Structure 1
Amino acid sequence: MARTIIQLRISLDGVEPTVWRRVLIPGGFTLDRVHRVVQFAMGWGDRHLHVFDVEGVQYGVPDPDGLLDVHDELDVRLDAVASKGGRLRYTYDFGDWWEHDLTVEDEFPADLDTAYPVCTAGERACPPDDVGGPDGYRDLVAAVGDPAHPDHVAMGEWLGRAFDPGAFDPARATTLLRRMT
């Protein structure tokens, strides 16, 4: 029997224009691996806590102190909680509170000549970690894009690198995804 591939569209909430990715993931991936796909495809640094919400049930890394009540994401396969037309929510960084909508666009048999996961499309750069959520990201984009902005130099120094909010390369994201397997 052929493996089932799930086509997900990952959209970041609260950011305009929308930052999004389209990925092809084996349905047998557990949610901990889906977390890594989201991290690599979006461009996050995987430095913060996260949680999946599927119809009101939360999945993540169990907290040994019991402060975060979640089901273990290692125990749940994507194909057990996702079907065509369905949605999952993914929240990353409980301080900045980045919410993602994961929409199941399609399901189909795996192509035996393709290595999965794959990022097939997307738009715009992911915000940097620790920028301050959607409001902080709007401030960053305004400052970086305007040399006359009072925070232009400070934001550039904080970033420590060039940043183009419109840039995204699906091939680079796929290369990063291949490193996770």
Structure 2
Amino acid sequence: MPRQIFQLRISLSGVRPAIWRRVLVPGGYTLDRLHRVVQHAMGWRDCHLHSFEMDGVQYGEPDPDGDLPVLDELDVRLEAVAGKGSRLHYTYDFGDWWEHDLVVEDVLTAEADGRYPCCVDGERAGPPEDVGGPQGYLVLLAALADPSHPEHRSMRDWVGAGFDPTAFDAGRVSTLLRRFC
């Protein structure tokens, strides 16, 4: 049977203008590998906890002392829980609470010479780690855009001069995905 490739649209919730990615991922990937895809697609460094939710079922790294039942993401393949039109909810950093909507836009047959995973489209840079979630990111954007903002200089120093919230490079993301996922 030919290998299935899932075309996913990953959208970051609570942020305008929209930040999103369109990625092609093998259906045989475990949810743990899908987590790494989201991390690299958004430019994050996997510094915080995360979870997936689909149809009321939580997937992630089980905590033996935790109160919530979580199925081990290492044991679950994307193709086992999703198909065309499916939606998964992914939350990263339970302090900043970054919510993502993952939609399976299509299920394709792998191209013989295709390299997966890859990023085929998207918009805008992912927010920096530890910026304070969607609200903190809005404060950062306002401060960066206004040189007279009282936090302009400190925010620019914190985020670095190279940060451009409008920048996005699908080729660079694809390179990262193939190298680390």
Shorter-chain TM-score range: over 0.9
| Aligned residue runs from structure 1 range 1-181, under 5 A | 1-181=1-181
Deviates more, 1:25-34 or 1:144-153: 144-153
Find the aligned partners of 1:8 and 1:23 in 2 and give their Cα distance: 5
Query: What is the RMSD computed on CA atoms of the aligned residues?
Result: 1.0
Find the aligned partners of 1:27 and 1:69 in 2 and give their Cα distance: 24
- Summarize deviations over 1:24-79 as a string: whole Å, max 9, x none: 00000000000000001111121000000011100001113224531100111001
1:61 alignment partner AA: E
Aligned residues: 181
Q: TM-score, structure 2 length as denominator? A: 0.97
- Summarize deviations over 1:105-156 as a string: whole Å, max 9, x none: 0001100101100000000010001000100000000101111111000101
Gaps of 5+ in 2: none
SS at match of 2:131: coil
Find the aligned partners of 1:160 and 1:81 in 2 and give their Cα distance: 40
Q: Is the contact made by 1:156 and 1:162 (CA closer than 8 Å) also made in structure 2? A: no
Q: Which runs of 4+ in 1 moved over 6 A?
A: none
Find the aligned partners of 2:3 and 2:12 in 1 and give their Cα distance: 28
Find the aligned partners of 2:101 and 2:160 in 1 and give their Cα distance: 29
Find the aligned partners of 2:172 and 2:7 in 1 and give their Cα distance: 18
Q: TM-score, structure 1 length as denominator? A: 0.97
SS at match of 1:107: strand
Find the aligned partners of 1:87 and 1:156 in 2 and give their Cα distance: 36
Find the aligned partners of 2:146 and 2:164 in 1 and give their Cα distance: 12
Q: CA deviation at 1:166?
A: 0.6
Q: Sequence identity of aligned pairs in percent? A: 67
Find the aligned partners of 1:160 and 1:145 in 2 and give their Cα distance: 14
Q: CA deviation at 1:10?
A: 0.1
SS at match of 1:69: coil
